[in-house]
Amino acid sequence: MAKASSGTVNPHGHNGVRIVVAGDQGTGKSSLIITAAAENFPINVPHILPPTRLPEDLYPDRVPITIIDTSSRSEDSDKVAEELQRADTVVLTYACDRPETLENLSTFWLPHLRKLEVKVPVIVVGCKLDLRDENQQVSLEQVMSPIMQQFREIETCIECSASRHIQVPEVFYYAQKAVLHPTAPLFDQESQTLKPRCVRALKRIFILCDHDRDGALSDAELNDFQVKCFNAPLQPSEIVGVKKVVQEKLSEGVNDRGLTLTGFLFLHALFIEKGRLETTWTVLRKFGYNDEIKLADDLIPPLKLAPDQSVELTNEALDFLKAIFDAFDGDGDGMLRPRELEELFSTAPESPWTGTLYENAAEKNAFGGLSLDAFLSEWALMALLNPTFSVENLIYIGYTGDPSSAIRVTRRRRLDRKKQRSERNVLQCFVFGPRNAGKSALLNSFIGRPYSENSNPTTEDRYAVNVVDISMENKKYLVLREVPEDGVRTLLSNKESLASCDIAVFVHDRSDESSWRASSELLVEIAGHGEDTGFEVPCLIVATKDDLDSFSMAIQESTRVSQDMGVEAPIPISVKLGDFNSLFRRIVTAAEHPHLSIPETEAGRSRKQYHRLINRSLMVVSVGAAVAVVGLAAYRVYASRKNSSG
């Protein structure tokens, strides 16, 4: 297994490797570079070399290498820092005959790289090996082990002699290899195990290659894998040899059907331990992974959206997700428990729903399980907020169709208002209101959480998503986005902030006059922003805490505002009593017919009257001009006839 083809040219996406060599003065930096490039040890060495290019065919990967020499003078420190920050990898040198230069690596150079935030692999090189005192012979491992423990960015340590031509080409081979085939993303040196993200990627690759889904790679499947990754088949004796190596170390690595996932992972750990990182990297890159062990950007179709367009999953993607749900619902209870969900996402770099944005957005049962509707709701939210991320995760969990067939871009909301109909399947509702108006309680009730008297003010935007059944044939995903009162100003600082909104809801506590006043002011502010930017949104007013008595002028005030702005009267609800007055259906219905509930401010009304007046004036002017033209034409005809008769 892993017999690489020599015909593969630059499969890792790097157009070149920039190696910066730094270290104390007199440690052999320039001599090392000249010897590597010219294969001759220089007698006269300049203070600093110009950028040096190594032959492209010097190493198997055939990737151009540019070596940057640096000055050791203090007055050049800014220039050196600039070069280090542009490096793909850094070679730090010390002189084997001067122990203080080795000490300076851990006391100055390595901390200096961290201070500069240089996050690239480091190769530590002991130069002038031929000058080391024979009475101070110490193994390289013994010297470097404590330094490597402290500075994990060190990829490799090597000693060399430019004058004796000892291991000079190897220095830049390892430097190039550290960029093209880095250890850090794959392997934890401390625990000597594959890193979680590497395991998850290899597991996905294993599943994709296990065509008959029997949990093992047969001889034929192993051979297909080998050809795909390395363009060369395995001989039957080689397959036997691979399985024998695994079985000798790990009995569960092979069964009667072939190489198991455990055995597959063991093989890659073995390759890495033996320094054959290029084998694992070749496999990962053949399956579309980049250096961060995530899918490469060019695998995901670029999306071009107008601000008032959104993205939804297609029926093809939804059918795939329904099948995945059934496949991982091991106990067949119609719910995905946390353990089952974790297994479902075990082939993604991480679970995409970790963190408060998604973790608390959907309805869950007492055991933290998701129903099919809740599962699809989470995906609808992810596609709405981060379409590219949702497509990536579809691919991670096994979607093999064309990525562009998994999503669709909706019609512009501005056009929806003209057509007087929204055809979206996912509708986003912004929830505004003052503190203690009941916004959070509304979102909690929407995703099946029990009512609580305790009030915890929301300081950041929060989402809740669920399915709303309008009829047997009409099912919509409704996303509620709670906007904290303190966050409104920040939201409206962006001209396009309402472009993604299908409908806005304004919540107030009907027992508190100040709550009503604050909510109605928000309604005017949001409506005015929509008029100013061209992103008007339909609006509903919600009066919460219907179990309490309303303030004295509630009916008169709400009637006045509703009539003045041309919106529906406040919808009374009580989260405490579980009386929602069909609120969520009414939100969806209003969003589906956006032209019916768009409020109009006094300023907006004045602006419309002004435009009507201007248009009417222009019409009068154009009619007058037309009459004048017709009159002039008639006069000319009359004059012409008169002259003829004369």
Residue 624 has pLDDT above 90, yes or no: no
Residue 5 has pLDDT above 50, yes or no: no
Contact (Cβ atoms closer than 8 angstroms) between residue 370 and residue 336: yes
- What is d(CA 200, CA 499) in angstroms, rounded to the nearest whole number? 38
DSSP 632-646: HHHHHHHHHHHHHH-
Residue 8 has pLDDT above 50, yes or no: no
Least confident of 11-20, 359-368, 388-397, 532-541: 11-20
The torsion angle over the Cα atoms of residues 362, 365, 368 and 372, rounded to 10 degrees, is -60
- What is d(CA 335, CA 17) in angstroms, rounded to the nearest whole number? 50
| Residue 52 neighbours by CB under 8 Å, 6+ apart | 33, 34, 36, 37, 66, 67, 69
pLDDT, tens digit, 9 for 90 and up, residues 420-447: 999 999 999 999 999 999 999 999 999 9
DSSP 304-373: ---TT--EEE-HHHHHHHHHHHHHH-TT-SSEE-HHHHHHHTTTSSS-TT-SHHHHTSS---TTS-EEHH
What pLDDT is stored for residue 454 in this prediction? 81
45 band by pLDDT with thresholds 50, 70 and 90: confident
- Residue ranges of the alpha helices (H) in 480-601? 488-492, 513-533, 554-565, 583-592
Give 248: exposed, middle or buried? Use CB within 10 Å, 0-12, 13-18, 19+.
Answer: exposed
Contact (Cβ atoms closer than 8 angstroms) between residue 545 and residue 580: no
Question: What average pLDDT does the segment 12-21 reach?
Answer: 86
Tell me which residue of 343, 574, 580 sits closest to 478, measured CA to CA.
Answer: 580
471 band by pLDDT with thresholds 50, 70 and 90: confident
The full set of domains in the chain, from first to last, is 17-180 (3.40.50.300), 193-298 (1.10.238.10), 302-409 (1.10.238.10), 413-600 (3.40.50.300)
Give 633: exposed, middle or buried? Use CB within 10 Å, 0-12, 13-18, 19+.
Answer: exposed
What pLDDT is stored for residue 482 in this prediction? 97
Tell me which residue of 305, 301, 285 sits closest to 293, measured CA to CA.
Answer: 285
Counting residues of the chain whose pLDDT is more than 70, the rounded percentage is 91
Between vectors from CA 420 to CA 416 and to CA 421, what angle results, nearest 5°? 65
What pLDDT is stored for residue 104 in this prediction? 96
pLDDT, tens digit, 9 for 90 and up, residues 313-336: 999 999 999 999 999 998 999 999
What pLDDT is stored for residue 599 in this prediction? 95
Q: Which of 7-21, 292-306, 557-571 has the highest mean pLDDT?
A: 557-571
What pLDDT is stored for residue 608 in this prediction? 63
- What is d(CA 615, CA 621) in angstroms, rounded to the nearest whole number? 10
pLDDT, tens digit, 9 for 90 and up, residues 158-206: 999 999 999 999 999 999 999 999 998 999 888 889 999 999 999 999 9
- What is d(CA 453, CA 234) in angstroms, rounded to the nearest whole number? 68
Q: Which helix (H) or strand (E) holds 149?
A: helix 140-150
What pLDDT is stored for residue 9 in this prediction? 41
Q: Please state whether beta strands 17-23 and 65-69 pair in parallel, antiparallel, or not at all (unpaired).
A: parallel
Residue 633 has pLDDT above 80, yes or no: no
Least confident of 230-234, 403-407, 493-497, 627-631: 627-631
Tell me which residue of 149, 503, 148, 150 sits closest to 158, measured CA to CA.
Answer: 148
Residue 610 has pLDDT above 80, yes or no: no
Single-letter residue type at 98: R
Provide the 10 A C-beta neighbour count for residue 598: 20
Provide the 10 A C-beta neighbour count for residue 568: 14
Residue 478 has pLDDT above 60, yes or no: yes
- What is d(CA 519, CA 146) in angstroms, rounded to the nearest whole number? 63
4 band by pLDDT with thresholds 50, 70 and 90: very low
Residue 617 has pLDDT above 70, yes or no: no
pLDDT, tens digit, 9 for 90 and up, residues 121-141: 999 999 999 998 877 667 888
pLDDT, tens digit, 9 for 90 and up, residues 53-62: 998 888 988 9
